[in-house]
Amino acid sequence: MTPATAQTLSLLVALSALAACSTPQASNATTDAGTQAASTPVSAATPVPMPMPMPMPMASHGAAAPAGVLSIAETWAKRDALSGKSVTVRGTVVKVNNGILGFNWLHVQDGSGKASDGTNDLTVTTGAIVKVGDVVTVTGTLTLKKDFGAGYAYEAILEKATIK
């Protein structure tokens, strides 16, 4: 196998793992009306956002946020001014995918923002190991309009973050 072929294969494996992060599995979920929804296969070519567990409200994360710590909603609202800068947020880890493209990928929520426009959730890349349910303080570089290809683009992502 040539080095170029090996590199392409590695990228495809990483993107397949990333696809598992954003593509929900078909289910026989019960709707609000109490009827059972039919299973519908989901194509990896059309990623569909997964519903995230509801985080605890910010007040239940412990003491008041220290100076310099922004809410997820504030980070989204001020993203243009914060682009390329170090940003610190505090919230609950609601999703983890480890070892993709050399990083662990997290979704952090703090009870602020709106699910309808995505301002309640921030994607984070880090070398740290955490688990769903951990309350963390995350500091990283806010990057806007990050496109990893194959349909994986992020309007805002906190990269190379440290976790406390």
How many whole angstroms separate alpha carbon 11 and alpha carbon 17? Answer: 10
Domain-located, residue 38: no
Contacts (Cβ under 8 Å, ≥6 apart) of 21: 95, 97, 100, 105
* Selected residue with higher pLDDT from 55 and 84: 84
What pLDDT does residue 17 have? 54
Domain-located, residue 73: yes
Domain count, the chain: 1
What is the average pLDDT score of the chain? 77
Q: What is the DSSP string of 7-54?
A: HHHHHHHHHHHHHHHH-PPP--PBPTTSPBPPP----TTS--PPPPPP
pLDDT at 69 over 70: yes
Amino acid letter at 117?
Answer: D
What pLDDT does residue 15 have? 54
How many whole angstroms separate alpha carbon 138 and alpha carbon 160? Answer: 10
Best CA proximity match to 92, nearest among 119, 128, 129, 53: 53
Q: Is the dihedral of CA 72, 73, 75, 79 positive or negative?
A: positive
Domain-located, residue 28: no
Domain-located, residue 98: yes
How many whole angstroms separate alpha carbon 12 and alpha carbon 32? Answer: 38
* Threshold 0.85, pTM exceeds: no
Contacts (Cβ under 8 Å, ≥6 apart) of 65: 58, 71, 90
Taking a C-beta distance cutoff of 8 angstroms, is the pair 95, 124 a contact?
Answer: no
Structure confidence at residue 63 as a pLDDT band (50, 70, 90): low
Q: Which DSSP category does 1 fall into?
A: -
Write the pLDDT tens digit of every residue in 74-103.
Answer: 999 999 999 999 999 999 999 999 999 999
Domain span including residue 106: 3-23+44-163
Best CA proximity match to 101, nearest among 4, 10, 14: 14
| DSSP helix/strand/coil, 144 | strand
The CATH number given to whatever domain includes residue 87 is 2.40.50.140
Domain-located, residue 29: no
What pLDDT does residue 89 have? 98
What pLDDT does residue 35 have? 43
What pLDDT does residue 67 have? 82
